[in-house]
Amino acid sequence: MHIDLGLDNFLQLLVNGLINGSAFALLGVAFGIILGVTGRFHFAFAFTYALSAYIAAEVGLAWNLPFWLAMVLGAIAGLVLGVLMEFLVYRPLARRSGAYALLTIFVSSLGLAIMGENLLSIIFHSSASESISGVSITAIKVGSVDFTSLNVEMVLTSWVLILALAVVMSRTKFGRMVRAVRSNPDMSLVVGVSPGAIFLAVFAIGSLLGGVAGVFQAAQTAATPSMGFEPIFYAFTVAFLAGAARPPVVVGLVGLAVGIVQSLSGLFLTSQYAGLVVFAILFIYVAVRPLQLRSVLSRPAPLPAA
């Protein structure tokens, strides 16, 4: 263990954490709204994420578009794919599977993600990565801390989107409908809100936001076919830690916290291990979560009281 507690190092790590954390926040919010409202373990989020990045790269290059426009188009591509997956795969499957829906959808989603990764490889020619053109990155230095203009754009965009979603959820009629369906899909049907339509809408929103995150990652490094797999683990972690039915800002803040903790772990751990910190947090949380204060291994989960 190499401990460097110098202030400069600390500040750099903190800023890195804020940057990564904002990405995690967006991922968590995007995945979380899908999970919270539909209950679907949408592993293929990795696919919509990566597709958005590729489309942004391709159209940006082909039509010589500015970054923002390419990003929007890429995110829309992700949106369309996400909606199609819900409509064509998940929904018919959920109807048939009844009580086993969670598992069948998870497995299908896994299948879609695997298909997606390899189709991207084939279509965009194996694992050659694609950079997004039209991105201008200028380095910024504040005091001793380094970051880039792209980082700033990503952080701002992420939080603007999260706040926008928060406003929509809490103040618009649509947001109320979404919250109704999240809380009780059957009851929503009774009062005239169609869960089916809302499911499609949240897949659209989640895939769109995820796509934005994907484009930013590709702008930072490059688009690769498997680029979605690591972020999706972060998306899961943040969404489950926060609780998928929480408001977007809460989920976002949890994402930020995760990013900061991961980054600051670099004070004590080498960078290789830092990558595992998030999973360690997840593991500890999941392992400890069901325990109540005085409960013992042999205590089973209580039955619902009638």
Partner 1 sequence: MEIQVNYINEILIFVTFAVSLNLLLGYTGQVSVAHGAFGALGGFALGYLWLHHHTPLIYVLPIGFVIAGAAGMLVGIPALRLTTEWLILLTLAVQVIIVGLISTSNTFGGAYGLQDITKLQIFGHQLSSPTEQFPLYLVVAALALALCWRFGESPYGRVLRAIREDEPATRALGKNVFAYKLTVFALTSAIAGAAGVLLVVQSTVASPGTFSFDLSTAIIAMVIFGGMGNLVGSIVGAAVIVLTTPFFESVIKLSPQFSSLWRLVAYGLLLVLVMRLRPQGLIPEGFTVRGLVRRGARKPEPVLGGQTLEASSVSAPAAVPVGGGFPTTVPRAGAAGDSGAAATGSGVAGPRHAAPPEPSELVAERARHRGELVLSVKGLSKNFGGIAAADDLSMELHRGTITALVGPNGAGKTTVFNLLTGAIRPDRGQILLNGQDVFGMTPNKVARLGMVRSFQDVRVFSRLSCLQNVMLGVQGQIGEHVGGLLLRPVRSFTDERETRDTAMRWLDFVGMKDMAAVLTGALGFGQQKLVALARVLATEAEVLLLDEPASGVDQQWVDVMLELIEQLRPEGRTVCIVEHNLNVVGRLADNIYFMELGRISAEGSFSELTGDERLAQAYFGTA
* Nearest of 266, 267, 271, 239 to residue 252 by alpha carbon: 239
Tokens of 110: 């896994």
SS3 148: strand
Among all chains, which residue has been given the structure tokens 């991105």?
A: 135
Q: Please name which of 72, 45, 86, 205 lies closest in space to residue 132, comparing C-alpha atoms.
A: 72
Please give the span between the terminal C-alpha atoms of the chain, in angstroms, as a whole number.
54
The residues that touch partner 1, with contacts defined as CB under 8 A, are 41, 89, 92-93, 96-100, 102-108, 110-119, 121-122, 126, 229, 233, 236, 240, 270, 272-273, 275-276, 279-280, 282-283, 286-291, 297-303, 305-306
- Nearer to partner 1 by C-beta: 213 or 232? 232
Nearer to partner 1 among residue 45 and residue 240 (C-beta): 240
Minimum distance of partner 1 from residue 289's CB (angstroms):
8
In the complex, least distance from residue 242 CB atom to partner 1, rounded to whole angstroms: 13
CB of 141 to partner 1, least distance (A): 31
Residues 6+ positions from 287 with CB-CB distance below 8 Å? none
The nearest distance, CB 297 to partner 1, in angstroms, is 7
| CB nearer partner 1, residue 45 or residue 67 | 45
Q: Please, which residue, 171 or 299, has the CB nearer to partner 1?
A: 299
Nearer to partner 1, 31 or 67 (CB): 31
Q: Which CB sits closer to partner 1, 87 or 147?
A: 87
Task: Indicate the residue among 97 and 133 with the shorter CB distance to partner 1.
Answer: 97
Least distance (Å) between residue 119 CB and partner 1: 6
Q: Closest distance between partner 1 and the C-beta of residue 143, in Å?
A: 32
Q: Is 70 exposed, middle or buried (0-12, 13-18, 19+ CB in 10 A)?
A: buried
Of 209, 50, 219, whose CA–CA distance to 149 is shortest?
219
Residue in the structure block whose two tokens are 């797999």: 229
Other C-beta atoms lying within 10 Å of the C-beta of residue 305: 4
| DSSP3 helix / strand / coil % (the chain, rounded to 5) | 75, 5, 25
Buried b (16+ CB within 10 A) or exposed e, 216-236: bbbbbeebbbebbbebbebbb
Yes or no: say if 139 and 2 are a contact pair by the CB < 8 Å rule.
no
Q: Please state, in angstroms and as integers, the Cα–Cα distance from residue 139 to each residue in 134, 147, 168, 275, following that order.
A: 16, 6, 34, 25
Residue 192 CB, shortest distance to partner 1, in Å, is 28
Nearer to partner 1, 92 or 196 (CB): 92
DSSP state for residue 98 in the 8-state scheme: G
Supply the minimum distance, in Å, between the C-beta of residue 306 and partner 1: 3
